[in-house]
Amino acid sequence: MINGIIAKKVGMTQIFRSDGVVVPVTVLKAGPCVVVQRKTTAKEGYDAVQLGLVEFLNPKKVTKPMAGHFKKHGDVAPVRLLREVRLEGKSDEVKVGDKVLVDQFKPADKVDVVGTSKGRGFAGFVKRHHFRGGAATHGSMFHRAPGSIGASAFPSRVLKGMKGAGHMGVERVTVKNLQVVQVDVENHLLLVKGAVPGHEGAVVIVRKSLRQ
């Protein structure tokens, strides 16, 4: 059973429930997808499928390695985006060429969304690691500094892994247990409560939550 789908983040909006409560939601264009490759325990050591997002791809952009990959695994039409999704439960009936649509999700389902966080460039200690900083008054000259990062006598160096200023964002992030608010099968849209990682147009994987 395929429990996931490739989606693109459209943006955020809000909807009103029947009782008048405003719910912030993220709109995701989920699928349609097709199974490009089937991975089995006997051959690869685990059960999974490689999904491809069905969308227009200029034939001139299809390289020879790409064409060979799709031809090798069932002669599926080349797609630009490929992602791998693990299989859960009985999965013998899953085969190359099967369609994966957004109708596998229902309102009130819980899903996990996996994506890449927004890039924030070079960030300081407070923004990147939520350091508290020092006092802002009474003549303090210690505001947004990290404090001690190592002793001068021993080991006389900064240990590896010490939190500090540096590049922030562009990391794999998984937001768990988001509630599905609405499903639009005709337009391949999925509305989930809350925010998901990434900018508008970012590619994410939506999978059924392991903790229902």
Would you place residue 95 in the very low, low, confident or very high pLDDT band (cuts 50, 70, 90)?
confident
- Measured distance CA(35)–CA(56) in Å, rounded: 17
66: amino acid identity, one letter: M
Mean pLDDT rounded to a whole number for the chain: 88
Q: Is the peptide bond before 107 cis (omega within 30 degrees of 0)?
A: no
In sign, the C-alpha dihedral spanning 180, 184, 185, 190 is negative
Cβ-in-10-Å burial (0-12, 13-18, 19+) of 131 comes to: middle
pLDDT at residue 187, as a whole number: 92
Alpha-carbon gap, residue 211 to 10, rounded angstroms: 26
User: Helix and strand tally (H, E) in the chain?
Assistant: 2, 12
Structural domains in the chain, CATH included, are: 4-115+175-208 (3.30.160.810), 120-168 (no CATH)
* Segment 12-53, tens digit of pLDDT: 999 998 888 999 999 999 979 988 888 888 888 888 888 988
What does the alpha-carbon distance between residue 41 and residue 109 come to, in Å, rounded to a whole number? Answer: 29
Mean pLDDT of the 65-92 span? 81
Cα–Cα dist 180/23, whole Å: 11
**CA–CA dist 154, 65 (Å, integer):** 54
The answer to whether 191 and 28 are in contact (CB under 8 A) is yes
pTM of the complete model: 0.83
